[in-house]
């Protein structure tokens, strides 16, 4: 079966769709997204999970009036693993020409109804979120998925339990 023929995951509800917010490092990269419909992520810097329905674009300082905001997003239609030189053949001598990247083929670029600013300037590389959060966010900080207090307490309990188990093991070794 070819990749193109395989059934693709569709979230049960559109608001459950997963979104990866990613930085657009330069205006040239933004033009590639707009004109050619693809985006690249270096494999060595990619998040562990690389299976999202959409990618949203964070604009850093280089974007002038658009700086420190998210203004658009696009559905991800396909993932490919490529070298940089395969994607950018006009740059064969680039220092990272042989490095591997995820190439995300994109559907139509969609602009948000209003920009999502980052009011407290912070360095952003990737933020996993949902489409619902993206469409409702007032600030980039609203995009972070926070664990429920119950999940946070359970995680803290497991950490304490493991630490106690290690201490017990150390005591058993010491006093045999």
127, HSE (Cβ side, Cα atoms, 13 Å): 24
> Domain check: are 34 and 114 in the same one?
yes
pLDDT confidence of residue 43: 94
> Domain check: are 36 and 72 in the same one?
yes
Mean pLDDT taken over the chain? 80
Instruction: Select the more confidently predicted residue: 146 or 35.
Output: 35
Count of domains observed in the chain: 2
> Domain check: are 140 and 155 in the same one?
no
Given a cut of 50, is residue 3 above it in pLDDT? no
99-136 b/e with 16+ CB inside 10 Å = b? eebbbbebeebeebeeebbbeeeeebebbebbbebbee
Give 107-123 pLDDT, tens digit per residue.
999 999 899 998 876 67
Nearest to 40 by CA among 120, 96, 115: 96
Confidence class for position 127, pLDDT limits 50, 70, 90? very high
Domain residues for the domain of 42 are: 3-145
CATH number at residue 52: 2.30.130
> Domain check: are 85 and 159 in the same one?
no
Q: What is the pTM of this model?
A: 0.74
Given a cut of 80, is residue 106 above it in pLDDT? yes
> Domain check: are 25 and 97 in the same one?
yes
> Domain check: are 121 and 134 in the same one?
yes
> Domain check: are 109 and 172 in the same one?
no
Given a cut of 50, is residue 1 above it in pLDDT? no
Alpha-carbon distance of 80 to 41, in angstroms, equals: 11
Q: What average pLDDT score do residues 131-153 get?
A: 77
> Domain check: are 78 and 118 in the same one?
yes
pLDDT confidence of residue 7: 47
Give 86-97 pLDDT, tens digit per residue.
988 899 999 999
Enclosing H/E stretch for 103: strand 100-106
> Domain check: are 102 and 159 in the same one?
no
pLDDT confidence of residue 66: 79
């Amino acid at each position: 079966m070819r990749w193109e023929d395989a059934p693709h995951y569709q979230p049960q509800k559109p608001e459950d769709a997963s979104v990866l917010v990613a930085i657009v490092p330069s205006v040239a990269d933004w033009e590639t997204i707009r004109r050619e419909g693809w985006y690249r992520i270096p494999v060595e810097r990619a998040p562990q999970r690389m299976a999202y329905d959409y990618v949203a674009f964070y604009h850093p300082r280089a974007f002038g009036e658009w700086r420190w905001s998210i203004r658009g997003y696009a559905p991800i239609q396909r993932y490919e693993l490529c070298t940089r030189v395969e994607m950018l053949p006009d740059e064969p001598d680039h220092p990272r020409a042989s490095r591997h990247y995820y190439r995300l083929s994109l559907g139509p670029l969609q602009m948000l109804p209003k920009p999502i600013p980052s009011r407290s300037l912070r360095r952003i590389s990737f933020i996993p979120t949902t489409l619902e959060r993206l469409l409702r966010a007032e600030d980039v900080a609203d995009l972070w998925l926070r664990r429920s207090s119950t999940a946070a307490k359970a995680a803290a309990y497991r950490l304490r339990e493991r630490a106690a188990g290690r201490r017990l093991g150390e005591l058993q070794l010491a006093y045999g």
